[in-house]
Structure 1
């Protein structure tokens, strides 16, 4: 219990310090573009009502979930296929290096030509940016599978789906989750960017509309909502990751204890 409280205090210390600095530094501000934090917070309740949340936040989250989910499935499936085949790596690596170097926001006008300006376009934009961290980390994780474990599995006749389930996937899963974590932050960014183009709802659309109507405090509240959304998503992802990789973190902790005891 004490350890949990200590961890929570450390996690909240820096955000509270930054909010306090922002409050004090902006308290006497007379700038239209950088209003005091107390002014921004005073508009929060009036702006982000239940209707606004259902009209803008929920559609954004649904698009993020669809694009991120599609990228996760495609990235893991392709990564396993490329990572386990030397021929596939040789064929795909040049194309992958070229495609991942293209910034996804640049593709928004192109995607709009094929997918229109609706939610499909936004989902495709999110997926096109999120897939690369998942794909490349999956390839690296599959390639890093212990050769001794691979030979042992082959000796015992463990092949096909059983080999993937009991050897490849567990060995590569820490690297896969690292890619999924990176993709989540990219997905939030692309969610906002895609909603700034020909959109009628969403968080990105709301922030741009506030900016165009010179409702600057309201615009800042939208930015705060995006920040809070990112924190919540990161915490939820951390919970899922710790549960899915409990065996991995447990083995690392045991190795650290063994190393400390030996010292």
Structure 2
């Protein structure tokens, strides 16, 4: 059997075994805080596939998508600017490192005070928190481009946009992709936190409301949905990254084989 098939079987068997153990261990549970998995799945279907799909699930996913895309675009553009224009980097790099040192969740109360409780606050909190991993990764990736490549760009008189599209981004692509993946994880965390702290709409808000109302099955259903969304978004990103960076992954495999 091929190693890839073995890895797939092992990766599938573990969560299935955990689900079976959870089902069997909680089947006779009378604890109001740890209901049976069957009850949780029933509430999961009622809440997230029907009642609150349009009003909460789509709203959360929409905020996550808009905030993440804005964070990536701004991070790549600013990272390119900081890495290629030294005076700009000297001016703003200390500020970037200071702001990125603040825990992302701590920014949510500030944005609530400034912007309010609307969707703009949730999107802004996602952008501000998810911006810095992509920005730093872009800066490091572009600054690591070989000096000979930079000299060739100067000889051929490539403009800033040509250098970015044809030289810098392909060379720095693997590092930028790693920063984007970290940004995605942070964006997901801040999406939940912003809904719990400053919203009555969204998956995070509904999960918190269920906890405060002592609706344990609803709370666990919300946690289960968040785990599934986090897993699926990361899986989709890994697939997209493997396709976009197929040339890089192939070259690394050849290096290991040799």
Q: State whether TM-score is above 0.5.
A: yes
Distance in 2 between residues matched to 1:155 and 1:11, nearest whole Å: 50
Distance in 2 between residues matched to 1:43 and 1:204, nearest whole Å: 16
Partner SS state of residue 34, structure 1:
coil
1:18-63 CA deviation, whole Å, 9 max, x = no partner? Answer: 3334334444543322223233223322222323111110000000
Q: Which residue of 1 aligns with 2:162?
A: 162
Aligned length: 258
Q: Which residue of 2 aligns with 1:217?
A: 217
1:61-117 CA deviation, whole Å, 9 max, x = no partner? Answer: 000011111111111110111112333332222211110111222222221222221
Q: Which residue of 2 aligns with 1:31?
A: 31
Distance in 2 between residues matched to 1:244 and 1:208, nearest whole Å: 38
Q: Which residue of 1 aligns with 2:59?
A: 59
Distance in 2 between residues matched to 1:209 and 1:99, nearest whole Å: 31
**TM-score for the superposition, normalised by structure 2:** 0.92
Distance in 2 between residues matched to 1:27 and 1:144, nearest whole Å: 56
Q: Unaligned stretches of 5+ in structure 2?
A: none
Q: Which residue of 2 aligns with 1:127?
A: 127
CA contact (8 A) 2:47 2:53 kept: no
Deviation at 1:5, TM superposition (A): 4.0
Instruction: Compare 79-88 and 68-77 and name the one that shifted more.
Output: 79-88
Deviation at 1:242, TM superposition (A): 1.4
CA contact (8 A) 2:117 2:199 kept: yes
Q: Which residue of 2 aligns with 1:227?
A: 227
Deviation at 1:149, TM superposition (A): 1.9
Written as runs of structure 1 = structure 2, the 5 A alignment for 1:169-208 is 169-208=169-208
1:166-196 CA deviation, whole Å, 9 max, x = no partner? Answer: 2111011111110110111111111111111
Deviation at 1:6, TM superposition (A): 3.6
Distance in 1 between residues matched to 2:245 and 2:188, nearest whole Å: 24
CA RMSD for the aligned pairs? Answer: 2.0
Deviation at 1:3, TM superposition (A): 6.2
Deviation at 1:197, TM superposition (A): 2.7
CA contact (8 A) 2:48 2:57 kept: no
Distance in 2 between residues matched to 1:160 and 1:130, nearest whole Å: 25
Q: Which residue of 1 aligns with 2:78?
A: 78
